[in-house]
Chains A and B, each alone.
Chain A
Amino acid sequence: MTERSAPPRRKRRWLVLFALTAALALVAGACTAGDGEAAGSYTDIINERGLTDEQVEAALKTYVPSGQWDEYVMFASGGHSGQVIAIGIPSMRILKNIAVFTPEPWQGWGYGNVEQMKVLEAGNVGDNQISWGDTHHPALSETNGDYDGQFLFINDKANARVAVIDLRDWETKQILKNPVSIVDHGGTMVTPNTEYVIEGGQYGNPLGWEYAPLEEYEAEYRGMVTFWKFDRDKGRIDESQSFALELPPYWQDLCDAGKNVSEGWVFCNSFNVELAKGKSVDGADFEAGVSAGENDYLHVINLRKAEELFKAGETIDVKGFPVIPLDKLIDAGVLYFIPEPKSPHGIDISPGGEYMVVSGKLDPHVTIYSFDKIQQAIADKNWVPDRYGVPVLDFDAVKEAQIEVGLGPLHTQFDDKGYAYTSIFLDSVVSRWSLGPPYKEGDEAWKLVGRIPIQYNVGHVAAAEGDTVSPDGNYLVSLNKWSIDRFLPPGPLLPQNLQLIDISKEPINPTVDVTGTDPNGMQLLYDMPMALGEPHYAQIIKADKLNPFEIYPEVGWDPATMQVDPEAPVPGNERVERDGNTVHVYMTAVRSRYTPDRVEVKKGDRVIWHITNIEQSLDATHGFALPGYNITLSLEPGETATFEFTANESGTFPFYCTEFCSALHLEMAGYFLVQP
């Protein structure tokens, strides 16, 4: 090495420094250029679309990029669609319209599958087949008062029925017709460990909805609340352990189960203490008659004592179902009433179970009762009997607070910060107010702290886990009945409007004006047109509590039993067997063929057709459609199903896969031939 070939040390150091600086400058430049470009592009979009800062903020809060999942799932009833709709939050994307009371062809629900037909037929009323429902209040199963993500219950107001949905496969497993009442409303709610599913009645009817003239309303008509015993291991309601209470015909409305300190008690409100019987008897229509009085009665029910009466056999028989008669309820101290402001439409228990919140929809306040005070009034016998002899507790003795929240208050949910949220129908706002101790103390307690306008006519509200012992806060959905001008008009039947509201921020001001519309920290994020039905109530569960099957665990899985069906067709044993006039078909389905792909019978044969989707890949669902016989199935990976019919039409019927399954999906077909 010569001196010349090696550059001086100092010079080399400079060179390194220069290179480093240049590199840094380049990197920095690139970064700046990158940022500048992005900023330019989205500010352009904001400007082009004329979005305000708040709208941009809302968009950013609700956007869930492709491939990412929502934080919460909302299960909303579908109203008179008879179904339950699952919606991701905050994106408000529909995940599934779960078929419950109404046959639904995409899920193959009720189009031949014998197990499903059995579930639906259990919901028939007498000889009448009922092929729709009016779902109102979904209830997620709970463990220690918190959603556990295992089951979902839903009622049908139109026919007083209750359904059980298994959240392993999001399918309906059981439908029960209430033997006592023909309509319900106050269901479903669950006790804190899902021991019971509560179904409260609504319009009074003679027990078992036997005939009685309206003139005999007071003597013959009755209300009810039914406690359906849930067998978690079986995933079914156990009818033999279930019972109902006979109640005065006061048109029971909604119920809620006590929790924590009030566990073991159940609260239901009512709205026809007036005993209105309609124009034909009263000369005034129900609308006026039912809302004439200043008070209705909150029903306070000691469920543990009711259970004791049931177990002691202190029941009467109504259509084979045990009902504890009213006089026994009174004697045993099961039932108490509390005056509540006129025509209430909500009863909601605070997370700790200390407070019962009622809104009289024709009174601008929420009325809050204290569980301790209720217990004290019962202990003090601080009551007067009502016309049926039920003790009516003294209002002032049990009232904790009344807060003016606006015109037409309905339902209340709770958050993690000590606030409650009440839907205000006439004012079309959601009012936020603070709870009392232990949630908020002193000056901060029982204050109206926000009123966010919604569009329009809110019914229920649902906050994230907002009716559990540990609400999450974060989000609230306002389930609005009218959308009026919010969406492109699809003809005269407009969608509902589900509005997502950010409730994560604390109020800015200590209180707001009850006639004003100061959201005071709440922010409207998103309008979702709901055109599948009219959701009434909804519950919002943290998505990670749900752990559904991705595919059925084994090939040949029967969703009715949640086990492998040993008789299920599997590869190698596909066949067609004839037994007299009965033909058994054992078929498998896999991309992209049915085996066998030809089934031939004689006209008049009874066909019992078993089919298994033997796929084990995520999303490899096959359909099975049999033209001319009103049969369509959805076979999810691993699922086996059976359908039965009489081949009463001779001819040639190509069957095919309805779920686009593969490149050769169109080839997935076969022939059902019926010889004349």
Chain B
Amino acid sequence: MAKMTLRDRVLGPRVPPEQRAAHAERYRRPMMLFGGAAFLLVVSIFLPYWILRLRAPQFPDGLVVRAYLNRLEGDVETLEGLNHYVGMPSFEYGAVLERSLSIIALVVLAGLLIAAFAFHNRWVVVFTLPALVFPLMFVADLQYWLWRYGHSLDPKAPLAGAVGEFTPPVFGPARIAQFETLALPGPGFVLALVASGLVAAGLWYHRKAYKPLLDQLYGKARS
């Protein structure tokens, strides 16, 4: 039974060179999956996460809002203008903290995934879990804000009474005043979802690669 150094204790065992040579693919695979996930997350920063399409009689071409992690694009000003009839808070008050942190957070998530390369034990979970659950957190946070917007109508807004409180769904169709809305996941969210899947797969292969090594080096009880 080998003695664990501090480094091994934290980072997990190093792979003996002969074993790495024999099973290069086995050890590379989790790294590639984590690395791929990190790449996708970084790319997703540049893509919209959430797309809201709105149709109303007086907007025959429809209106669209594309929510990136840190900003909104599309017919935002038109909607801000219309919104004052319904009395939802201005977009600028929504998810201020999330928007201000999101880019850094995503870079950190990606960095953690790269850092996870170094870990050959269960600590890898700590570094990969944020990326794994990120899409879920995004949806939960978005739902929270949508609920909050639909329940913070300015009672003085002209149509607040006629529209009434509502919770728009994160994804799918809804109706607000004369607008028919359709909320869709954006490509950024799809990438984050794929990244989450890659991380899950990476963890699976990580365990497949390092569990036997741990068992071999320190015995089953340690693993």
Contact = CB atoms under 8 A, between A and B. Distances in A.
Interface string A491-528: 00000000000000000000000010000000000000
B158 interface: yes
A410 to B, nearest CB: 14
A156 interface: no
Nearest to B179: A426
* Binding site secondary structure of chain A: loop
Interface in A240-294: 284, 287-289, 291-292, 294
A79 interface: no
Interface string A351-371: 000000000001110000000
Contacts of B18: none
Contacts of B157: 288
Q: Residue among A289, A429, A456 with the most chain B CB within 10 A?
A: A456
Contacts, number: 49
A485 B158 CA distance: 28
B159 interface: yes
Contacts of B178: 407-408, 426-428
B16 interface: no
Given A288-B158, A362-B161, A407-B162, A484 B175 contact: no
Given A426-B177, A428-B178, A287 B60 contact: no
Contacts of B158: 287-288, 291, 342-343, 362
Contacts of B177: 407, 426
Nearest to B177: A407
B162 A485 contact: no
Given A363-B162, A407-B162, A429 B156 contact: no
A457 interface: yes
A383 interface: no
Contacts of B162: 362-364, 407
A453 interface: yes
A482 interface: yes
A456 B58 contact: yes
Nearest to A424: B178
Interface residues of A, number: 26
B92 interface: no
A485 B175 contact: no
Given A363-B162, A407-B162, A482 B156 contact: no
Contacts of B58: 428, 456-457, 482, 484
Contacts of A453: 57
Nearest to A362: B158
B156 A515 contact: no
A291 B156 CA distance: 7
B57 A456 contact: yes
Contacts of A457: 58
Given A288-B158, A427-B178, A485 B57 contact: no
Residue among B60, B157, B159 with most chain A CB within 10 A: B159
A305 to B, nearest CB: 36
Nearest to B59: A484
Interface string B56-89: 1110110000000000000000000000100000
Contacts of A289: 156
Contacts of B57: 427-429, 453, 455-456
A288 B161 contact: no
Interface residues on B, range: 10 to 19
Interface string A429-460: 10000000000000000000000010111000
A484 B60 contact: yes
A79 B60 CA distance: 26
Interface in A59-93: none
Interface in A281-322: 284, 287-289, 291-292, 294
A363 B162 CA distance: 6
A295 to B, nearest CB: 11
A427 B58 CA distance: 8
A342 B161 contact: yes
A306 B88 CA distance: 46
A612 to B, nearest CB: 53
Nearest to A291: B158
Interface in B158-184: 158-159, 161-162, 175, 177-178
A287 B177 CA distance: 18
A457 B59 CA distance: 10
Contacts of B84: 287
A288 B158 CA distance: 7
Contacts of B61: 485
A362 to B, nearest CB: 5
Contact of B156 (A284, A455, A456): A284
Contacts of A426: 56, 177-178
Contacts of B60: 455-456, 484-485
A515 B56 CA distance: 12
A428 B60 CA distance: 11
Contacts of A343: 158
A342 B178 CA distance: 18
Contacts of A429: 57
Nearest to B158: A291
Contacts of A482: 58
Contacts of B161: 294, 342, 362-363
Contacts of A455: 57, 60
A455 B60 CA distance: 9
A407 B58 CA distance: 13
Contact of B159 (A294, A362, A428, A485): A362
Nearest to A343: B158
Interface in B87-128: none
Contacts of B56: 426, 428
Nearest to B57: A428
B32 to A, nearest CB: 51
B97 to A, nearest CB: 29
Interface string B5-38: 0000000000000000000000000000000000
A363 B161 CA distance: 8
Nearest to A457: B58
Interface string A457-480: 100000000000000000000000
Centre residue among A343, A426, A429, A456 by max chain B CB count within 10 A: A426
A288 B162 CA distance: 15
A363 B163 CA distance: 9
Contacts of B175: 515
A515 B179 CA distance: 11
Interface string A400-432: 000000011000000000000000001111000
A408 B158 CA distance: 11
A363 B158 CA distance: 9
A362 B178 CA distance: 12
A408 B161 CA distance: 12
Nearest to B180: A515
B54 to A, nearest CB: 13
18 contacts: A289-B156, A291-B156, A291-B158, A342-B158, A343-B158, A362-B159, A362-B161, A364-B162, A407-B177, A407-B178, A426-B177, A427-B57, A427-B178, A428-B58, A429-B57, A455-B60, A456-B60, A485-B61
Given A284-B156, A342-B161, A426-B56, 12 more contacts: A287-B84, A288-B157, A289-B156, A291-B156, A291-B158, A292-B156, A362-B162, A364-B162, A428-B178, A455-B60, A457-B58, A515-B175
User: 9 tightest A-B contacts by CB?
Assistant: A428-B57, A291-B158, A456-B58, A426-B178, A288-B156, A427-B178, A362-B158, A407-B178, A292-B156
